[in-house]
Amino acid sequence: MDRETADEIKGHFSFVAEGLRSEMRVVAEGVSATQDRLERVDDRLDRFETRMAEELNEIRAMIRISFGQLERLEARFGN
């Protein structure tokens, strides 16, 4: 193989490699953006879970109070 052919092949592979690098950058950016979105979704789910746990605790407390009041009424007025 002569020098001119080798340089031509080298140039072609350099061109192809640069295209691959560019495509890999796009994929890496997409993965990074997806990870950022997933982290935001995880944060929102964590906040939602916390809020639901707090509301459930409030409901349980209200039920306990209601049953306590019902028991007092039953004790006062009988069954």
Is residue 18 in some structural domain?
Answer: no
pLDDT tens readout for residues 27-55:
999 999 999 999 999 999 999 999 999 99
Q: Helix, strand, or coil here: 1?
A: coil
Host domain of residue 79: 33-79
pLDDT of residue 1: 79
Q: What backbone phi and psi angles, to 5 degrees, belong to 78?
A: 80, 175
What token pair was written down for 43?
A: 């944060």
Residue in the block written with tokens 């950058």: 25
Contacts of 66 (CB under 8 A, 6+ apart): none
CA–CA distance, 38 with 74 (Å, rounded to integer)? 53
Is residue 10 in some structural domain?
Answer: no
